[in-house]
Amino acid sequence: MRTQAILALIFSTTFAVAHAADALPKTLLTERGKELISDDFSKQPDKPDWKIAKGKWVIADGALKCAEIKSDNHGGNMRRTLAFKDAVFQFDFKFDGAKALSFSINDAKEHVCRAVFNPTGFRAQKDDHDHDGPDKAAPFALKAVKLNDGQWHTAVVEILGDTMAVTLDGKETSFGSNDLIATQKANFGFTVGGESAFYRNLKIWEATPNKEWDATKAKLNAAK
User: Residue 63 is which amino acid?
Assistant: A
Write the CATH number for 138.
2.60.120.200
The boundaries of the domain holding residue 116 are 27-222
Backbone φ and ψ of 21, nearest 5°: -65, -40
Determine the pLDDT at residue 8. 46
Assigned domain for 22 exists:
no
Assigned domain for 203 exists:
yes
CB 82 within 8 A of CB 136: no
Above 90 in pLDDT, residue 9? no
Count of domains observed in the chain: 1
CB 75 within 8 A of CB 55: yes
Q: How far apart are CA 213 and CA 140, in angstroms?
A: 17
Determine the pLDDT at residue 16. 42
Assigned domain for 9 exists:
no
- Report the pLDDT averaged over residues 19-27: 73
Closest by Cα among 179, 188, 175, 192 to 123: 175
Assigned domain for 10 exists:
no
Averaged pLDDT of the chain? 90
Assigned domain for 54 exists:
yes
Assigned domain for 71 exists:
yes
